[in-house]
Amino acid sequence: MDKILIFGHKNPDTDSICSSIIMENLVKKFNVNAKAVRLGNINKETEYVLKYLKIEAPELIEKVEEGQNVILVDHNESAQSVDGRDEAKVLAVVDHHRIADFKTIEPLYYLAKPYGCTATILFEQYKQNGIEIDKTIGTLMLSAIISDTLLLKSPTCTEKDKEAVKELENITGLKSSEYGLEMLKAGTDLSTYSSTEVINLDAKEFTADTKKFVVAQVNTADIDDVFSRREELEFAMEKEISDKKLNLFVFVITDIINTNSKIIALGSDKSIVEKAFNKKLDEFDSMMLEGVVSRKKQIAPQLLEVAK
């Protein structure tokens, strides 16, 4: 059988990359011929992790051929998946997101848990199957959990994630408050990116009814610093809106120190944002959302609810 390809979502984050590699390692223990790949560029946070471990990034792929065997991690929605996914054969999914537009022809393994991170689900799988977690796999898991839960501060973080981090700190000898903060900080450096790259670093597309929208997010230690690029960012957002025929583009600037977000909303349906958060956009098409850091829990569901 051809190699099974394992990948996370487009515009991959640390969980998508790390969980692909962790999943490859796991299925190989069962003599399954599989390979982690990725659907986009490595961001600076993930680069920090791979450099720390001195391991190569998975190979980049653009699309899959019809009938290709695949395993999805950290996503399931087709808009966020590989081009050609609906003609591929999905053997398994390990994910911690809502399930949307997912349909297969044949039975599959589908492991979904509402944890803060895909890597936490995989951590549990290693334990349940009695598979040793070495320092490299442990560091990949720890990095992914710290990234997705913003050092356990996000409302998406569960007791399972906290327990996993505790154990992974022992395995790796790393302190998440030190290693994790350095890793998160590495991801906040946007200085070398063009505005188009900034709005695409962590962009996710959603559809509700006939409405199509994108919610993009960046982490920062200084919201004003990112917001000072507002004009060029808005220009790039307008271009995405017309290129992809979007109803709405929401750009979320998340302060990882104070756990707040400022959003900028553009598009013909930007009133969705005002309804979702019961707040008016200011003259810069922006609003401050206190205590909001999670797109998955605190932004996307609220927008989808109004949009549907």
Q: Name which of 118 and 200 has its Cβ closer to Mg ion.
A: 118
Nearest alpha carbon to residue 276 among 247, 301, 248, 254: 301
Out of 6, 11, 13, 187, which residue is the one contacting Mg ion (CB under 5 A)? 13
Q: Name which of 45 and 148 has its Cβ closer to Mg ion.
A: 148
22-51 residues near Mg ion, rule: CB under 5 A: none
Q: Locate tokens 């899959």: which residue?
A: 64
Range in contact with Mg ion (rule: CB under 5 A) among 36-44, 68-76, 180-188, 261-269:
68-76
Range in contact with Mg ion (rule: CB under 5 A) among 71-79, 130-138, 187-195, 286-294:
71-79
From residue 106 to residue 145, what is the string marking binding to Mg ion with x (rule CB under 5 A)?
Answer: ------------x---------------------------
74 binds Mg ion (CB under 5 A): yes
- Closest approach of Cβ 81 to Mg ion, in Å? 12
How many C-beta neighbours within 10 Å does residue 172 have?
21
205 binds Mg ion (CB under 5 A): no
**CB under 8 Å to 269, separation ≥6 — which residues?**
211, 213, 247, 248, 307
Q: Name which of 40 and 269 has its Cβ closer to Mg ion.
A: 40
148 binds Mg ion (CB under 5 A): yes
**CB under 8 Å to 32, separation ≥6 — which residues?**
4
Amino acid identity of residue 308, one-letter, is K
β-pair partners for 83: 63
Out of 5, 6, 10, 15, which residue is the one contacting Mg ion (CB under 5 A)? 15
β-pair partners for 4: 34
Token pair recorded at residue 307: 């949009």
Rounded CA-CA distance 161/84 in Å is 33
Token pair recorded at residue 280: 């008016």
Q: Which residues bind Mg ion (CB under 5 A)?
A: 13, 15-16, 74, 118, 148
